[in-house]
Chains A and B, each alone.
Chain A
Amino acid sequence: MSVLEAVSTHPVAGENLTGEAYRDVMHRWLRASLPASFRSDSAAFAAPTLQQSVAWEAAMYRAGLTGITWPQAYGGHGRSLREHLVANQEIGRLAMPESVNSIGKELAGPIILAVGTEEQKRRFLPAILEMRNIWCQGFSEPEAGSDLAGLRTRATQTGDGWRINGQKIWTSGAYRSQRCLVLARTGPLEDRHRGLAMFAVPLDAKGVRVRTIKSIDGRESFCEVFFDEVEVAQADAIGAPDEGWAAAIRVLEIERATNRMYRAWRFENELRHLISACKADTALAAMVADRHYAVRLGEVAVEIEVLKAHVETAVEALASGDKIGARGSLAKLYWSESHQRFAALALELLSQASLPQIPAIKVARRRFEAIYLQARAETIYAGTTEIQLGIIADRILQLSRGK
């Protein structure tokens, strides 16, 4: 049976379960359904193809593991944020590939839910969950990275829609996407944050050109996206000018605290994998039994516990009706920096393995070398560390900038 057949033949999880019964079904479904070749802690691991990822994520959706909190009217499962956390804890506990459609599920979808028209919700949201449409994020530009108010891509109103000209960069996965969530300027550059509008641009539209960029991990998933007189229908404008961007800010605040909610539990999976690999190697087994590395691994474990606390507190706050506001920056800063420290420790340990390398070390090195490189980006994307510190200083501490 092929990987695709295997994931598509598992039954859909029951819909009326709650609490631990819900967790148990999610737990069992994931373990029964995730192919060994998708597990980066397995010797059988082979990076899934796009087609395999799409099939897997569609199966996860059918099993109730994505679109968890989205309304049922738009294909979601209509569950609570606490249940979303439960499902994500189970997702995190397995070494599975990252979503190829995280922008659709965690950025575009929530923004459309917040400010999209009824027609847009019905057209876009089920297609995201069913993996018929993969989305990418067209925010950053060559002259507007952290400072999005400086973006220059321009949207001009035409008789029945919009015309977009400009260039986006660092657009992860644009080459495999059907839609790009484009942020464009409708007024002059001097307007800064005013007049920004958001569009769901089909990437097969005339005038769109995508060029891949080779990145730190040797892959070509980063892209530049060029828009040359691209005609976009009014039906693909997300919210009115200003409204879309204002919604994006709100969504980004929440997403910063809650997206990839499984992270702490995935980091725990990574830590357990690292230790298990070390314990299988003669030299490393002695090292991890020694006080020095026990302390350093303990520090990673404490940081994972604290990260869980950040996530669970944010979920409880949101579930109780609180606004998360700028507090999402605290969680983002915490996970991104602690993961970098952990990844560096993993590399340091694994580089001291015995020779010849045993299979367990080969598997771990392959996984942790990739994690190390990816982690370097984690303090850059979704708002750099410096941006997060600025947000905390400005909006949480409300420090004076006065002269």
Chain B
Amino acid sequence: MTVVGEGLQPDEFAATAARAVTACAGLDLREQARNLAGDGLLGITADEEVGGLALPIGFAVPVIAAAHSGLLAFPLLETILVGRLLQSSLTRLAAAIVSGEKLATIAWQGEALAEREGGRLVLNGSLGRAPCAAEVDHILVRMSDGASVLIPTDAEGVVVEDAAGLDLTVPEHNVRLEKVEIPIGSILPAGTWDVLSSDANVLRAAAILGSAEACLALAQEHASTRRQFGHALSYNQAIRHALARQKLGLESIRHAITRSLSGDGGPVQRDAAFLAAATYGCSISEGALQIHGGMGFTWDVPVHRHLRRIRTLQAQGDASGLISTFGRRYVSEVAPFAEAGA
């Protein structure tokens, strides 16, 4: 990363994040939150008024990458995004999230339908892909008009259910909203979801980068030390070329993230970074699993845990829907052929 803010370099945060991740091992979610907050990681992009560091999102990239490389069992990406999102409208809550006092997550799938009843709003809907929703205090959900709303999990009518999911350490939950009444003030302005999604795509790409880096390192190590037929696995061209392709995928993710954060970066580049990460992250982690053979299927080797995470992130960002939108947008922006415009 080359983003610079007040003399700090984003990469300096990677080491802090790696240490924090190690320190979080074995702690419950609230203890992890306090630890991570103590290192300034929950409010890395939030304003100073709510206890954040007010750094650009490029600084969150190495933090998220390190967190996923170390398989942090905490919804860090969601916490960073919610803390910043609330800083203007729900300042006190934002400060509580940044300090680790309150826990928040985001339901990435589905929309809530809202009906106004006097000064309150009544929400109904079925939502999904909400990491750690069973243990948090608030869930951010998308509304059908593109706005978003923060819902306390202890509000009447909020039902958090276990959901099948690949990531076992940051489990996803489904959320049912049955006539949930919330104050109008909990609604965040229209357009906030789009901004949130765009930032989330960059951070998801970073998360996948962290996991993919870990997978490639593990595969490389295994290929260099595991011996079969009298040779290290890496003696075989098929293995060497497979690892080389994984390296190409990894650097493609890294460069796409860098570009999405550069002066030329916009929504297209952010979407592209996530889509590239989803594609190459899957092939890197699946390829690493293949190279590990049977060992990759054990809990002693974390490759499959990264694969589970990457597939989960791919779904949370709706990569298959996004690539369709991305293609359609591209097609719609090109005029039919006419010689004058050729």
Contacts and interface: CB of A to CB of B under 8 A. Distances in A.
A330 B323 contact: no
Contact of A298 (B232, B326, B337, B339): B326
B95 interface: no
Interface stretch (B47-55, B78-86, B108-116, B251-259): B251-259
A359 B336 CA distance: 12
Contact of B252 (A285, A293, A309, A403): A309
A276 interface: yes
Interface string A364-403: 1000000000000000000000101110111011011111
B92 interface: no
A149 interface: no
B248 A334 contact: yes
B268 A363 contact: no
Interface stretch (A118-126, A131-139, A193-201, A299-307): A299-307
Contact of A310 (B252, B269, B336): B252
A297 B324 contact: no
Interface in A284-300: 285, 288-289, 291, 293-299
B94 interface: no
For chain A, which range describes its interface: under 10, 10 to 19, 20 to 34, or 35 or more residues?
35 or more
A334 B230 CA distance: 33
Nearest to A95: B342
A399 B323 contact: no
Contacts of A333: 248
Contacts of A393: 234, 240-241, 243-244
A299 B243 contact: no
Given A275-B331, A289-B331, A363-B337, A305 B272 contact: yes
Interface stretch (A36-44, A156-164, A173-181): A36-44
A272 interface: yes
B87 interface: no
B4 to A, nearest CB: 13
A295 B324 contact: yes
Nearest to B339: A43
Given A43-B339, A399-B234, A309 B331 contact: no
Contact of A295 (B251, B252, B258, B323): B323
Among A293, A301, A390, A403, the most chain B Cβ lie within 10 Å of the Cβ of A301
Contact of B336 (A42, A276, A296): A276
Nearest to A299: B323
B299 interface: no
B144 interface: no
A397 B327 contact: no
Contacts of B231: 402-403
A306 B255 contact: yes
B175 to A, nearest CB: 28
Contacts of B234: 393, 399-401
Given A41-B342, A295-B327, A330-B248, A403 B335 contact: no
Contacts of A359: 339
B255 A309 contact: yes
B330 A301 contact: yes
A392 B327 contact: no
Given A310-B255, A393-B243, A399-B220, A299 B327 contact: yes
15 contacts: A276-B335, A276-B338, A297-B327, A297-B330, A298-B327, A302-B272, A302-B276, A305-B272, A306-B255, A312-B264, A334-B252, A363-B342, A393-B240, A399-B234, A400-B235
Interface of A: 39, 41-44, 271-273, 275-277, 279-280, 285, 288-289, 291, 293-299, 301-302, 305-306, 308-310, 312-313, 316, 327, 330, 333-334, 359-360, 363-364, 386, 388-390, 392-394, 396-397, 399-403
- Among all A-B residue pairs, the 4 with the closest Cβ atoms: A298-B327, A294-B327, A360-B337, A309-B255
Interface of B: 2, 220, 223-224, 230-232, 234-235, 237, 240-241, 243-245, 247-248, 251-252, 255-256, 258-259, 262, 264, 268-269, 272, 275-276, 279, 320, 323-328, 330-331, 334-339, 341-342
Given A305-B276, A397-B247, 20 more contacts: A39-B342, A41-B342, A43-B339, A271-B330, A276-B338, A280-B337, A302-B272, A306-B252, A309-B259, A334-B248, A359-B339, A363-B342, A364-B337, A389-B240, A393-B240, A396-B247, A397-B244, A399-B223, A400-B232, A403-B230
